[in-house]
Structure 1
Amino acid sequence: MTGMAPTVRTLIVDDDFAVAAVHRGFLESLPDFSVVGEAHLGADALRAVEDLHPDLVLLDIYLPDISGLEVLHRLRARPGPPVDVIAITAARELDTVRSAMAGGVVNYLIKPFTLDVFTDRLNAYLAHRREVRRVAGRANSGALDQDSVDRLLRVRQNPQQARLPKGLSLRTLGLLSSALAEARTDLSAAELGERTGVSRISARRYLEYLVSAGLASVAPRYGAAGRPEHRYRWTGEPAPRSSP
């Protein structure tokens, strides 16, 4: 049962105290996670990992002393058990995302995002963590067979095979992803819905998921009436195919 399992000890790293407090509130709404500390500088984050031994670090990239990417590099170079890292940042440059992925982040969340998106990504991480523990528990003398390795790497090999939020389907995700990629420009949820025959509300849910997965970016555009409209652009490569 979920309630019997130990909580995931989480360290929040963000230079903005208010944003860190929001992330703490998000985490405290999830029973499988506990906050063991906060850090607002990269150097403090490294010390906190050594002192608090978290299972997971929510890591901002833009830090005032050293880059979050440098923090990630040093975490990977330290001896002892590895710590999982989810990047939570406004940084959306392709080189930054690639560097974070090369550094082994388990997910990349672009600010701002909703509680629903945050919850979906943390629950997906939790499911993967539990799968790792199940596979490790079945391994003889710590050795894994090929099937076990393949299961652990499946999400990295194809992010669209990750567990989707409730109500989303891989087929529709592939359809909308392909349409957004082929547009080669930014689209609103309504425009993408018109191109694919999906309702605006449904299109927006899928677009928010793509943003949370690091496959799309979102930016407001202000019209004549002054009301902002969210515009989405494909940032992943290559463009995904719709599932058969």
Structure 2
Amino acid sequence: MIEVLIVDDDFHVARIHSGFVGNVPGFEVVGVAHTGADALAQVEALAPDLVLLDLYLPDMFGLEVVTQLRAAGHDCDVLVITASREAEAVRAAVRHGVVNYLLKPFSFDDLRVRLDTYAAQRRELPEESVTGQADIDRVLNRGTTPATATRLPKGLGQETATLVERALRETETTLSAAECAERVGISRVSARRYLEHFCKTGQADVSLRYGTTGRPERRYRWT
């Protein structure tokens, strides 16, 4: 289980975010903090894997929490969840090494996709050492994912594209749109759009499986 600390000054919002995280398989909320000082104390006591961090806290700016965490030797990851749309806040968050930056308000699916992507990145990094550059590129999503290698059509998202690609890569044979949708946690129609996009860009192949009645089933394979 990936242990998560929720940090938000609004008690109601923190409760909603806790419910979101609790409904994502593989994640568990271990604490909730409403100030920067409380966040620092709870990281010290609980040692969570991931902190969902609001930037607007009553006692300090959220990124100052990250600075103090690193100074104290804590290596937990940080996912920013904030209403801040200032470009400088985004750039500062990137400089602080956050794993993602999610704007409020957001839906459960918005957060779930980012948490699933984060979990997949953690799984892909070997425990002791990497075998080569490919391991590092997969974790950093550089050069090996369609979301960064090609421009996605309007209506398709980077995080979901990464998850659909991963589902295709990890299957030993082929996937239908329905099977892909079940693995990723999206609708069949959405899965079909991503799969067809990968086929158009040459990153996946499609074949037809004929049954006894009805239309043939489209089966996809990562190339």
TM-score (normalised: structure 1): 0.60
Distance (Å, rounded) in 1 between the aligned partners of 2:144 and 2:86: 21
Residue of structure 2 in register with 1:65 after alignment: 59
Which residue identity lines up with residue 160 of structure 1 in the other structure? A
Amino acid across the alignment from 2:92: S
Distance in 2, matches of 1:30 and 1:101, equals: 25
Q: In the alignment, which residue of structure 2 is the partner of 1:105?
A: 98
| From 15, 18, 29, the counterpart of 2:12 | 18
Residue 77 (structure 1) aligns with: 71
- Residues 61 and 68 of structure 1 are in contact (CA less than 8 Å); yes or no, is this contact kept in structure 2? yes
Name which of 106, 124, 127 aligns with 1:131: 124
| Offset of residue 155 of structure 1 | 4.7
SS of the aligned residue for 2:127 comes to helix
CA RMSD of aligned residues (A): 2.8
Residue of structure 1 in register with 2:39 after alignment: 45
Q: Distance in 2 between matches of 1:159 and 1:17?
A: 38
For residue 139 of structure 2, the aligned residue among 146, 149, 152 is: 152
Give the partner amino acid of 1:16.
Answer: D
Deviations 1:196-240 (A, max 9, x none): xxxxxxx3xx4xx4799xxxxxxxxxxxxxxxxxxxxxxxxxxxx
Q: How many Å separate the matches in 2 of 1:100 and 1:156? A: 22
Residue identity in the other structure for 1:54: P
Paired residue total: 163
Q: Which runs of 5+ in 1 are unaligned?
A: 1-6, 163-169, 177-202, 213-242
Q: TM-score, normalised by structure 2?
A: 0.65
What amino acid maps onto 1:147 in structure 2? A
> Is the CA contact (8 Å cut-off) linking 2:124 and 2:135 kept in structure 1?
no
The residue identity in structure 1 corresponding to 2:40 is: L
Cα shift at 1:156: 9.7
Whole-angstrom CA distance in 2 between matches of 1:54 and 1:156: 30
Give the alignment partner of residue 115 of structure 2, picking from 112, 122, 129.
122
3-state SS, counterpart of residue 56 of structure 2: coil
Indicate how the Cα distance of structure 1 residues 24 and 159 shifts in structure 2: closer, same or farther if over 3 A, else same.
farther
How far apart are the structure 1 equivalents of 2:127 and 2:17? 30
Is contact 1:8–1:55 with CA below 8 Å preserved after alignment? yes
| Higher normalized contact order (CA 8 Å, seq sep 6+, divided by chain length) | 1
Shift of 1:136: 2.7
Query: Deviation at 1:19?
Result: 0.3
Instruction: List alignment gaps of at least 5 residues for structure 2.
Output: 161-200, 203-223
Matched, 1:31 2:18: no
1:181 counterpart residue number: none
Q: Identity of paired residues, percent?
A: 49
8 Å Cα contact 2:147/2:159 also seen in 1 = no
